[in-house]
């Protein structure tokens, strides 16, 4: 899909935002607030961008319509604080390239006059986009990039409602500790990670936690993202044979890793992934028969619909567009846009500083989200510290929640491969 097609498709949506001249247009009755959405819509990560688009369109439908959901912005049609203004989304294809992301963010701000930005999946792209947003004083809602370093820059216009990899990895090691107390053998871990910000930051956290909690690091392997072959790396993993393989990979690499493990006869005792490629339906469509028992950290559990029925209804709205259930990424994207729209609504303005102030003041109970979070609020780094993670296990047909115990619906299969 080229840029013209993306913009034409986006213009058909009943959606987003205004600054400067756009604010004057709003005062004259133009009922919309324009938000810039940055994802890879082409290349190896295109499916992630397609799924994200479905998630944002679902969120916009909730924001712009009227639904009996106990969610921010759901019940009023449009943004009540701006006279019922609708959200309109403008998409940009960053092609998973940080410099392309930088250029597209600047174009959205200076040419499309967006009120705010949301994105970007790849942490390396979110890094450059957040810098552009900061320079222009435009709020950037980091929907799904999980690198801890993104918040360390102490940017004033950066906000992340979902957990980051320090929080996700801590949940993994809490799970390992709990399994050990139940008599399961977990003495060593194998770190396998791609060479961009996401993989490197993830491995740094996991290396530190493994050392602190007394787990041997049997393998510590960094590989080149989008590598054409992982045979040498898988041979190293097979030789090391850790009790738990912990991959931090994007989708194409995750599929290649699993195929290469099968070709070389390596069956990890257990696999606990930093989501990303191991949370995507396309991965399980391709190699799911080889991933029965695999575990992934997550921000979302569809099991929660039993306690909050509106989650199931939101999922059906998303599924009608995408033909698949919400997952770790798409749930964060959908909820991220709702949280951003709620702040714009409370700000009663399209001014970047006023929206930033409203984001700082955010305080939403977790029960009013589709996530297992305790609460949505932001610390002085723009991070939500109460975005409680969960662990999900693939059963062969679906994911089930196995940790923590207070939300688990099934006991873990451990080990996954005997």
For residue 391, with 0-12 CB atoms within 10 Å meaning exposed, 13-18 middle and 19 or more buried, which class applies? Answer: buried
Q: Alpha-carbon distance 397 to 167, whole Å?
A: 27
Whether residue 318 is predicted with pLDDT greater than 80 in this model: the reply is yes
Tell me the average pLDDT of the chain. Answer: 91
Token readout for 320 is 């009608």
pLDDT at 102: 98
User: Please, what sign has the CA dihedral across residues 388, 394, 400, 402?
Assistant: negative
Task: Give the model's confidence band at 154: pLDDT under 50 very low, under 70 low, under 90 confident, else very high.
Answer: confident
Peptide bond into 285 cis (omega under 30): no
Instruction: Centre a 10 Å sphere on the Cβ of residue 3 and count the other Cβ atoms it contains.
Output: 14
Average pLDDT over every residue of 394-406:
91
Beta pairing, strands 364-365 & 295-298 = unpaired
Kindly state the DSSP code that residue 188 receives in the 8-state scheme. E
CATH of domain 165-298+391-403: 3.40.50.2300
Q: For tokens 């569809």, name the residue.
A: 302
User: Please, what sign has the CA dihedral across residues 131, 133, 136, 137?
Assistant: negative
Q: Alpha-carbon distance 126 to 96, whole Å?
A: 10
pLDDT at 406: 83
pLDDT tens, 60-89? 999 999 999 999 999 999 999 999 999 999
Rounded to two decimals, the pTM is 0.85
Helices (H), 241-293: 251-263, 281-287
Closest Cα to residue 370, out of 346, 356, 351, 390?
A: 390
Token readout for 261 is 């493990």
Whether residue 393 is predicted with pLDDT greater than 60 in this model: the reply is yes
Helix, strand or coil, per DSSP, at residue 390: strand
Q: For tokens 């909690």, name the residue.
A: 213
Average pLDDT over every residue of 347-363:
98
pLDDT tens, 1-46? 443 344 334 433 433 333 333 443 444 444 799 999 999 999 988 9
Task: Give the model's confidence band at 281: pLDDT under 50 very low, under 70 low, under 90 confident, else very high.
Answer: confident
Q: For tokens 């029960």, name the residue.
A: 367
pLDDT at 418: 60
SS3 content of the chain, % helix, strand, coil (to 5): 45, 15, 40
From the options 3.40.50.720, 3.40.50.300, 3.40.50.2300, 3.40.630.30, give the CATH code of 3-163+304-387. Answer: 3.40.50.2300
Q: What is the DSSP string of 95-155?
A: TT-HHHHHHHHHHHHHTS--SEEEE-SSHHHHHHHHHHHHHHT--EEE-S---THHHHT--
Helix, strand or coil, per DSSP, at residue 358: helix
Token readout for 392 is 């999900």
Query: How does 260-293 read in b/e, with b if 16+ C-beta sit within 10 Å?
Result: bbeeeebebbbbbbbbbbbbbbbbbebbeeebeb
Q: For tokens 């607030």, name the residue.
A: 33
Residue spans of the domains in the chain: they are: 3-163+304-387, 165-298+391-403
Whether residue 312 is predicted with pLDDT greater than 70 in this model: the reply is yes
pLDDT tens, 165-175? 999 999 999 99
| Torsion (CA) 209, 172, 122, 134 in degrees, nearest 10 | -60
Contact 278, 18 (CB under 8 A): no
Whether residue 190 is predicted with pLDDT greater than 90 in this model: the reply is yes
Q: Do domains 3-163+304-387 and 165-298+391-403 have the same CATH topology?
A: yes
391 DSSP β-pair partners: 297, 403
Query: How does 191-203 read in b/e, with b if 16+ C-beta sit within 10 Å?
Result: bbbbebbbbbbbb
pLDDT tens, 216-240? 999 999 999 999 999 999 999 999 9
Q: Alpha-carbon distance 179 to 243, whole Å?
A: 12
Q: Alpha-carbon distance 413 to 363, whole Å?
A: 37
Provide CB contacts within 8 A for 303, sequence distance 6+: 400, 401, 407, 409
């Amino acid at each position: 899909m080229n840029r013209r097609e993306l913009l034409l498709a986006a213009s058909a949506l009943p959606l987003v935002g205004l600054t400067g001249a756009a604010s004057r247009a709003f005062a004259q009755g133009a009922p919309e607030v324009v938000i810039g959405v940055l994802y890879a819509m082409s290349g190896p990560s295109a499916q992630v961008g397609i799924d994200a688009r479905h998630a944002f369109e679902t969120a916009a439908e909730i924001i712009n319509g009227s639904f009996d959901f106990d969610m921010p912005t759901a019940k009023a049609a449009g943004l009540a604080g701006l006279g019922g203004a609708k959200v309109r989304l403008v998409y940009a294809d960053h092609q998973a390239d940080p410099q392309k992301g930088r250029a597209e963010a600047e174009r959205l701000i200076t040419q499309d006059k967006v009120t705010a930005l949301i994105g970007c999946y790849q942490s390396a792209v979110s890094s450059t986009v957040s810098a552009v947003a900061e320079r222009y004083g435009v709020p950037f809602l980091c929907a799904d990039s999980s690198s801890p370093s993104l918040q360390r820059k102490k940017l004033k216009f950066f906000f992340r409602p979902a957990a980051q990899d320090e929080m996700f990895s801590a949940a993994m090691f809490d799970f390992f500790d709990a399994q050990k107390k139940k008599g399961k053998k977990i003495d060593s871990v194998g770190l396998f990670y791609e060479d961009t910000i996401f993989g490197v930051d993830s491995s740094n956290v996991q290396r530190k936690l493994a050392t602190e909690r007394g787990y041997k690091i049997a393998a510590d392997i960094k590989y080149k993202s989008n590598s054409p072959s992982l045979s040498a790396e898988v041979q190293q993993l097979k030789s090391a044979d850790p009790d738990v393989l912990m991959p931090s990979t994007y989708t194409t690499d995750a599929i290649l890793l699993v195929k290469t493990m099968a070709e070389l006869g390596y069956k990890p005792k257990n696999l606990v992934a930093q989501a990303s490629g191991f949370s995507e339906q396309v991965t399980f469509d391709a190699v799911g028969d080889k991933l029965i028992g695999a575990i992934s950290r997550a921000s979302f559990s569809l099991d929660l619909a039993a306690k909050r029925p509106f989650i199931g209804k939101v999922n059906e709205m998303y599924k009608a567009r995408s033909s698949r259930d919400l997952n770790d990424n798409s749930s964060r994207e959908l909820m991220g846009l709702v949280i951003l729209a709620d702040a714009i609504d409370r700000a009663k303005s399209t001014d970047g500083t006023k929206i930033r102030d409203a984001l700082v003041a955010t305080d939403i109970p977790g029960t009013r989200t589709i996530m297992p979070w305790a609460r949505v609020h932001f610390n002085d780094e723009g991070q939500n510290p109460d975005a409680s993670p969960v662990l999900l296990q693939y059963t062969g047909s679906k994911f089930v929640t196995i940790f923590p115990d207070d939300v688990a619906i099934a006991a873990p299969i451990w080990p996954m491969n005997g």
